Amino acid sequence: MLTIKRTGGGLINLPSAPAQIPLNKLSSDDQDKILRLLRTKGAFPQPTRSDSPKYDLTGQVDGETRTVHVPEEMVPFSVRSLVKTQLPDR
């Protein structure tokens, strides 16, 4: 299971509610991209825009749960599109 959460950025800088999807529901190409991100140890490149949203991806890899904080442009569109903005309570 993959959990995705947008952690800010963009014009409105609002976080998202977490979304979840089984990895096997993604295309094999997107599964590979996500697993490579989860296996990364160390810093990711800086986003191309300073106001670019970031995403927390949490999933199982190599028998352990890992979370990575990733710039938007590194997250496959099929995964980003699952995330919905969480509006503040009024």
Question: What are the pLDDT digits (tens) for 34-86?
Answer: 999 999 876 777 767 777 788 899 999 989 999 999 888 899 999 998 988 76
**Helix spans in the chain (H):** 28-39, 77-80
Helix or strand or coil: residue 57? strand
Give yes or no for a contact between 58 and 2, defined as CB atoms under 8 angstroms apart. yes
Chain CA centroid to CA 33, Å: 11
Please tell me whether the overall predicted TM-score, pTM, comes out greater than 0.95 for this model. Answer: no
Give the residue carrying structure tokens 């191309």: 48
Which sequence spans correspond to the domains of the chain? 2-85
C-alpha torsion 75→47→43→21, nearest 10 = -20
